[in-house]
Structure 1
Amino acid sequence: MLVALKDLSICQGLYVLAALISTHYIARLIYNLYLHPLAKIPGPPTWCASRLPFVVSLIRGTIVHDFEKLHRKYGPILRVAPDEITFAQPEAWNDIFLPRQDHKPFLKDRLWWSRQPGQPDNLVSAIDPENHARIRKALSAGFTPRALRSQEPIIQRYVNLLVERLRDQILASGEKKTAEVDIGQWFHFTTFDIFGDLGFGESFDCLETSKFHPWIALLFNSVKAASFVVAARYYAWLEIILIHGIPASVKKKAAKHYNQIADKVQRRLNWELSRPDLMSYVIQKGPDSQTVLPLGEINATFMVLTTAGSETTATALSGTVNYLVNNTATLDILVKEVRSKFASDADISLDGLRDLPYLNAVLQEGLRLCPPVPWILPRRVSDGGSTVCGVWLPGGTPVSIQAYTMNRCEDYFHSATSFHPERWLEHARSDPSSLYFRDRREALQPFSIGPRNCLGQHLAWAEMRLILAKLVWNFDIEVVAGRKIRWEDLRTFLLVEKKPIMMKLGQREDL
């Protein structure tokens, strides 16, 4: 009898506990939907009520496309979680990223941007503005247009090696005289090799070996897992389980990944190079015999820059060329411009490429439709609250910009989902009869704006211009039948998903 009563009381206790938990969550859902300070901002009820749909979308890699669909339905200001807002409106750039009078700056969201455990701050993870400015100042001299001029021979060397390797692919095809190549992979080989040499004084040897260095391969293989790690941070209990449940083998791989860059930094510290590179400016020693940045910050920063300075450029190029081969009239105009400008491959220079209007328009259009950073990750509204696009938001609210969505919105760009480089030419800006005269070009900010905009944008432009120009000068390119991909189908796991972008290459006939 006593045992039965005891069992009954345990069961009753469990029922009460379940009822309390259910009541709590139901009350939370009702509060989020109707009483929350953000309740008046439009969004899908399931996303507004709970963080779960957001997290599921993030893990699946569909979050960028899901946001686009939701913005189309609910408008440019969208509630995507009980406490989070995204914007697909050009004015949001200035409101979120630029200093405003009587407004405190919006700092990076620590949930997304906090440094890895046991690692020092780096350029990207330094949330405090003064700390970030200190690191950026130490690096900035290596990324100026003046520094770029001294770096051009290195960039030229690897782009020329890319051309050689692509020729090798054609020669290996024998009588066919054409080769089918994954051009995206070759772009990544090139940009990682360039940054390796500029950053560490040694390349990753991707072009030499025609394969990814193990460090890069591990990076790409870890991207989906990284999305899951970020998703887990929204639930403290899940993050604790995840941290304690990571196998020792995975931790060992992560440590090795970091140490490989630290080893490259150390080797660079021991070398005296005859020419300046990106590292030169941060390893200079002051009166106290210390480098401008502490060694740990150098390691952590160059680990981040290796990805940010390589993967994004190659992704933008991949998307641009994918659109080009599927728009042959546009490709023909570009080929004619480049080949008529330069009599030989050796004549192609960074200075000469800056003045090619159609080449630059093609790249702008590629950046619009294929932004390598399709979702500008969240900042937090400053304490005390602030306005974004005329909407008052309480302090601490995560706010982000949906670049992919905005770039493809008919409200801002005519024929927004079509590839039309003409929209970036001067006559489209100045001629009211142009179809693209009313385009909101300020909506496109592929390198962000403000004090934390992309430090390497001059280098990125140089690489994109040179690689694309030398590609179309040396080769006839076309799409491989049956191997087309739609950029709109690629998922995003922090980085844009990698799929083969197959091109048919042939040596140009008039050479």
Structure 2
Amino acid sequence: MSLTLSTDELLSSISLQTIAISGLAALLLVHLIPWLVDRYNLRAYPGPFIAQFSDIWMGWVALRGRRSVLVHELHHKYGPFVRIAPNHLSISVPEALSVVYGHGTGTLKSDFYDSFVTIQPSLVSSRDRAEHTRKRKIVSHIFSSKSVVDFEPELRNFVEILLGQWERMYQDALKGLSGGQGENEWNGGDGRLWFNCLPWFNYLAFDFIGDLAFGKPFGMLSAGKDTAMAVKDVDSAMKSLDGGDTSSMETVEIPAVKILNGRAAYGAPIGVLPRYWRPIVGKLPWYSRGSEDVGTMAGMAVMSVAKRLAVPSNRNDLLNKLSGAKDEHGNSMGREEVTAEALGLLVAGSDTTSHSIAAIVYYITRDPRIQKKLQEELDAHISDTGPVSSDSVKHLPYLLACINEGLRLFSTVPIGLPRVVPEGGLAFMGHFFPEGTILSVPSYTIHRDPAVWGDDPEVYRPERWLEADKDRSVLMHKAFTPFSIGPRACIGRNIAMLEMEIAIASVMHEWDFVLEEEDQGLLFKEGFIRRPLGVRVGVKRRNII
């Protein structure tokens, strides 16, 4: 056997080496040249070394699910201005909120949001200013304080189902029975029902939003499990939707909560990567699963909208309101746009609310003093058992303080939402940011600023909302951004607050809570939003006089 290389083999070897070296050189130049040119004048700002040259640092920390915590630590290390990507500056100054997100600044959502688009951009994901304005004018009245009151009866019905399911499990637990599987496993002991309350708040939020968005709940509360239906082929289903024919849609049962979590976990790490990377990275196993979750959620929306619109109804739900709404030119939304908006509401208004409720219940439960104080306030204003009414609890100061403090500390959307500096640039605190620069203000860090919240920002202490003098109160409310601010603030804030007030007040009024295990802190995973990994508690009925 010859040990020498043939001419062809030698040329092939040289060719491969040349390709490899050329590829490496091109890769270095792609990241080095922008750094040398420094188009956005960010070279002087501190941050992770790799983040100066590549988005890979941001992609990695987002994939790990702890972006907000790591960015928070960077601000502690470097100060209020931190470079977290070649063209992305994080600013941890409360006053920056109005500059980056406020009215009249002209900033736009970055292409980060494109990773969440499936059917077409919705009110939540639309980046075009004119299109967003058109959509918001059509739907804003639907989410007004006056309109939201119309949805309360449906919400209370779902809370009643939740309480009934807990009562059933509680009575069985007292008999020594157990049940459920996985995260839904429950048992009895010491006169309590021991279970994970997080899934049940997920079921509540999904059924309520499903009923609100699609005219029919998914049935998760009644079934006591994560279940929904979706079409298999979204593209063909969309064609059927346009024609009003639903008979040919092939459907499949899916775990909607799990899939939505996967969708959120996928969108965050891939959204921070450059657009030209996404098709390549999206083929990797983990990312491809996340992409499938995005499509599956779209399939659930398509099927739900198709079935709802197939039978005309005067029912008071989002689809009925959207179908009849018109823009300033008298044009109504097409079925594809209506479907996208319904999906946007489902995604934005389900697990965000349920995770917040679970986190707030956890914080209240871990401190018996706080739980006792809240229950005393509830007892003084609520005489009946069952779901509370909004009128009976919406003005209770300690309940609102408990909710606000939970939203502050848990920060359901903890990351800095990226915004693109408009033409003409922006100036802030003596710094000038040219057009195209991406800026963000991390709510997780702003919600922990000692200058705003005092010397104990990591402590869950509802009293801080009641003790603050006028000046401090104004400062706190300006820095408090669980629903963001400005023209792109969460349009569903009124619905979310209604749901949190009624759900938290109802369960805390009827049940006494303790944590199942010694408190080790609230474990979580982060995608676009923060998700608790579980809130296992023991509950027993309170003796309400």
TM-score higher than 0.5: yes
Provide structure 1 residue ranges, at least 5 long, that are not aligned to the other structure. Answer: none
Q: Distance in 1 between matches of 2:81 and 2:339?
A: 39
In 1, the alpha carbon distance for the partners of 2:198 and 2:352 equals: 11
SS at the partner of 1:491?
Answer: strand
Q: Which has the larger displacement, 248-257 or 408-417?
A: 248-257
Gap change, CA 1:234 and 1:334, over 3 Å in 2: same
1:506 maps to 2:540: yes
Distance 1:388 1:135 in 2: 31
Task: Provide the residue aligned with 1:218 in structure 2.
Answer: 259
Work out whether 1:283 is the aligned partner of 2:323. Answer: yes
> Which letter does structure 1 place at the counterpart of 2:525?
R
**8 A contact 1:141–1:281 mirrored in 2:** no
Residue of structure 1 equivalent to 2:186: none
**What SS does structure 2 have at the residue aligned with 1:124?**
coil
Q: Deviations over 1:118-171 (max 9, x none)?
A: x22211222111111211222222211111222111111111111111111211
- 1:377 aligns to what? 417
Aligned to 2:521: 486
Residue among 434, 447, 458 paired with 1:417: 458
Secondary structure of the structure 2 residue equivalent to 1:334 = helix
Which amino acid in structure 2 is aligned with residue 181 of structure 1?
F
The Cα offsets for residues 375-406 of structure 1, whole Å up to 9 and x where unpaired, read as 13211111332224442112111111210111
Residue 193 of structure 2 aligns to a residue whose secondary structure is: strand
* Cα pair 2:46 2:78 within 8 Å, conserved: yes
Structure 2 residue 446 is the aligned partner of structure 1 residue 406: yes
Partner of 1:25: 28
Residue equivalent to 2:506: 470
Tell me the residue number matched to 2:204: 190
CA–CA distance in structure 1, aligned partners of residues 483 and 62 of structure 2: 23
Distance in 2 separating the partners of 1:362 and 1:243: 43
1:80 aligns with 2:121: no
One-letter amino acid of the structure 1 residue matched with residue 110 of structure 2: D
CA change 1:390–1:313 in 2 (3 A) is farther
Q: Does 1:180 align with 2:181?
A: no
Aligned to 1:107: 108
C-alpha distance in 1 between matches for 2:268 and 2:280: 16
For 1:333 and 1:142, how far apart are their aligned partners in 2? Answer: 35
Tell me the equivalent position of 1:451: 487
- 1:206 corresponds in structure 2 to 220
Check conservation: 1:89, 1:443, Cα contact below 8 A. Answer: no
Matches within 5 A, 1:283-432: 283-284=323-324, 292-345=332-385, 348-414=388-454, 415-425=456-466, 427-430=467-470
Structure 2 length-normalised TM: 0.83
Q: 1:3 offset after TM fit, Å?
A: 5.5
What one-letter code is carried by the residue in structure 2 that aligns with 1:195? I
- Tell me, in whole angstroms, the C-alpha distance in 1 between the residues paired with 2:173 and 2:107: 55
| Identical positions, percent | 25
| 2:49 partner amino acid | P
1:116 aligns with 2:117: yes
Instruction: Say whether 1:242 aligns with 2:256.
Output: no
Query: Which amino acid counterpart does residue 69 of structure 2 have in structure 1?
Result: H
Q: Which moved more, 1:180-189 or 1:347-356?
A: 347-356
- Tell me, yes or no, if the aligned pair for 1:201 and 1:268 is still in contact at 8 Å: yes
How many residues of Structure 1 are paired with residues of Structure 2 in the alignment?
497
2:266/2:287 contact within 8 Å kept? no
2:72 alignment partner AA:
E
Following superposition, the deviation at residue 441 of structure 1 comes to 3.4
Give runs of ≥4 in structure 1 deviating > 6 Å. Answer: 244-253
Indicate the SS of the match to 2:352: helix
1:230 aligned to 2:231?
A: no
TM-score by length of 1: 0.88
Deviation at 1:285, TM superposition (A): 6.9
**Residues 247 and 6 from structure 1, CA distance in 2 versus in 1: closer, same or farther, beyond 3 angstroms?**
closer
1:259 to 284, 294, 299: 299
Q: Distance in 2 between the 1:505 and 1:401 partners?
A: 39
Amino acid at match of 1:447: F
The yes-or-no answer on 1:497 pairing with 2:531 is yes
CA distance in 1, matches of 2:449, 2:413: 17
Report the secondary structure of 2:487's partner residue.
coil
In structure 2, do the counterparts of structure 1 residues 178 and 317 end up closer, same or farther at CA, with 3 Å as the change threshold? same
Contact 2:142 2:318 in 1 (8 A): yes
1:163/1:303 Cα in 2 relative to 1: closer, same or farther (>3 Å)?
Answer: same
SS of residue paired to 1:204: coil
- Cα gap change, 1:149 to 1:243, in 2 (>3 Å): same
The residue that corresponds to 1:58 in the other structure is 62
Inter-partner Cα distance in structure 2 for 1:502 and 1:327: 15
Separation in structure 2 between the aligned mates of residue 20 and residue 241 of structure 1, nearest angstrom: 17
Between the aligned partners of 1:337 and 1:35, the Cα distance in structure 2 is 57
Supply the AA of the counterpart residue of 1:58. Answer: A
CA RMSD of aligned residues (A): 3.2
Letter in 1 for 2:113: W
1:432-464 superposed Cα distances (whole Å, 9 cap, x missing partner): 8xxx77964311111111112111111111110
Gaps of 5+ in 2: 176-188, 228-253
**3-state DSSP of counterpart to 2:453:** coil
Deviations 1:189-214 (A, max 9, x none): 11111111122221011110001122
The CA deviation at 1:413 is: 1.0
CA 464–43 in structure 1, closer or farther in 2 if over 3 Å, else same: same
CA distance in structure 1 between the partners assigned to 2:54 and 2:412 by the alignment: 29
Cα displacement string for residues 297-340 of structure 1 (whole angstroms, at most 9, x for unaligned residues): 11111112102111111111111111111121111110100011
Whole-angstrom CA distance in 1 between matches of 2:137 and 2:30? 49
The letter for the 2-side match of 1:501 is: V
